[in-house]
Copies of this chain bind each other. A is one copy, B any other.
């Protein structure tokens, strides 16, 4: 895993990333809802990364990594292990550059996810559903191909890419008091920390996490990384633990981490679909669920809410029976 630079990204890296990825991403719209403003007593500005290319903000970091490679490096392709949006996004980015993308996924991953990765041109190598197998198989693929390893969130190029999202949001909305985003491995939140601590240091930064995968919350309270082995939550994008680079940003710049129960997440997700007419993942509902649960924290404030992605299985919505 030597390909991960061990230095932290700077705000100059965010600016460079934004210029680099602009041709390949959407400048996503910001939506507002009178209904949710009245319900929460806050003014909410929803940054809709569910409308992003490949369906999630992850394409920002993936494109920054892929299009920052030298031609020589790029020729060998990129590689990652992920069964979710990072795999899709890296496959999309590699496809746009015309280079290979190797993805190690558990053989037990849903066929729909494998099909989506292949749809963007990703080449899947299957592993057993265990950490040891994943690491062994990934090491073999990495060794064999010489591809550049792009970690889903701990990679500084990825964090700088995610930082472009809050940069856009600050250009689109004046006078924000706070920004809130979901936290899993911490890539998006680290991007927010990197950008906002440089251009708007008074804006509060909240991270929202499922109670049943609250390792970031517990890490934040304990002052060091606590990792769960296999948390279970409907917010399947938020199961992964913090790593050293994301922990740096979280521990230095996050105002607070708030949590919500599974039912609160599902209710907030369904309510958003009903009232805002947007399709988003369960993970994206966690911020709104925590705002509804802690209205006193947000009342009277102008709050940017990052809707991180929209890749959801329409045949398995969490409020469907059976």
B-contact 0/1 string along A258-288, CB 8 Å cutoff? 0000000000001001101111100000000
Question: Which one, A13-21, A64-72, A178-186, A314-322, is touching chain B?
Answer: A314-322
B279 x A273 contact (CB < 8 A): yes
B-contact 0/1 string along A82-103, CB 8 Å cutoff? 0000000000000000000000
Q: Is A163 an interface residue (CB 8 A)?
A: no
B-contact 0/1 string along A214-239, CB 8 Å cutoff? 00000000000000000000000000
Residues of chain B within 8 A of A314, CB atoms compared: 270, 273-274, 317, 319
Q: A278 is contacted by which of B278, B315, B321 (Cβ under 8 Å)?
A: B278
B-contact 0/1 string along A165-198, CB 8 Å cutoff? 0000000000000000000000000000000000
Q: How far is the CB of A31 from chain B (nearest CB, A)?
A: 7
Residues of chain B within 8 A of A277, CB atoms compared: 48, 50-51, 55, 278-280, 310
Q: Is A29 an interface residue (CB 8 A)?
A: yes
A310 (CB) vs chain B CBs: closest residue: B277
Residues of chain B within 8 A of A270, CB atoms compared: 314
